[in-house]
């Protein structure tokens, strides 16, 4: 089986962005194929993914079908994807795990859409969304305070914890979410990372046929 990284539509696929960042940060040289979300190619994702979801990485005889597992696979090859210090590494893994299993209100209310003209949601955030927004900024603030010396990212250098939050950065920009100063600086640092620039450019070049009204009409 040839090595390959399957991604969903870059404009929308937050989990694909996380997996892609891990692969690129690890320096794995694999071809990429985008399988558009929303059924434009019926059965295409199910044909390559045991879970029916993307991202999926086939590499050197291994098949990995979840972004968190792709991150761990990549970190085995490039340990610097996690912080070097044991306690910092444990903190970074906790952040990634909390992102993976939590923040449901944020994900539902603000789906990732890299091409959205920045505009706030019309409705004021409900209590659950407010709690997610506050928790996110608390995580970023506390981590920057404790571990952020030496660079603009959560642990100084860009790690898998930053990859986990990159789609949140995208959402905060797309939905013009007001942030406290520490979080705003962190958001801007992540967005300016060259890999984010590359992802956004590729997303902007995707065919209009891949646009999905359910994401384009979020107000």
Ligand X SMILES: N[C@@H](CCC(=O)N[C@@H](CS)C(=O)NCC(=O)O)C(=O)O
Binding site for ligand X (CB under 6 A): 8, 13-16, 37, 45, 53-55, 66-68
Choice between 6 and 147, CB closer to ligand X = 6
Choice between 70 and 136, CB closer to ligand X = 70
- Shortest CB 5 distance to ligand X, Å: 12
- Shortest CB 55 distance to ligand X, Å: 6
- Shortest CB 45 distance to ligand X, Å: 5
**Pseudo-torsion of CA 173, 73, 152, 130, nearest 10°?**
40
Choice between 45 and 110, CB closer to ligand X = 45
Choice between 16 and 113, CB closer to ligand X = 16
**How far is 70 from 73, CA to CA, in rounded Å?**
5
- Shortest CB 24 distance to ligand X, Å: 16
């Amino acid at each position: 089986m040839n090595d390959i990284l399957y991604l969903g539509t870059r404009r929308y696929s937050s989990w694909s962005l996380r997996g892609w960042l891990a692969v690129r940060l690890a320096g794995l040289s694999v071809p990429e194929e985008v399988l558009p979300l929303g059924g434009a190619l019926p059965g295409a994702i199910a044909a390559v993914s045991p879970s029916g979801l993307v991202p999926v990485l086939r590499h050197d005889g291994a098949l990995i079908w979840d972004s968190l597992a792709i991150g761990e696979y990549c970190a085995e090859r490039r340990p610097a994807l996690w912080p070097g210090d044991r306690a910092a590494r444990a903190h970074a893994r906790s952040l990634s795990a909390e992102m993976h299993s939590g923040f449901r209100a944020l994900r539902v209310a603000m789906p990732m859409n890299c091409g959205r003209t920045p505009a706030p949601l019309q409705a004021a955030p409900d209590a659950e969304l407010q709690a997610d927004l506050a928790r996110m900024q608390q995580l970023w603030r506390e981590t920057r305070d404790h571990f952020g010396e030496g660079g603009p990212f959560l642990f100084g250098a860009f790690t898998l914890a930053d990859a986990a939050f990159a789609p949140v950065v995208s959402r905060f920009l797309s939905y013009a979410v007001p942030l406290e100063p520490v979080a705003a600086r962190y958001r801007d640092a992540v967005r300016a990372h060259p890999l984010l620039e590359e992802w956004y450019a590729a997303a902007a070049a995707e065919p209009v046929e891949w646009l999905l009204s359910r994401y384009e009409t979020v107000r």
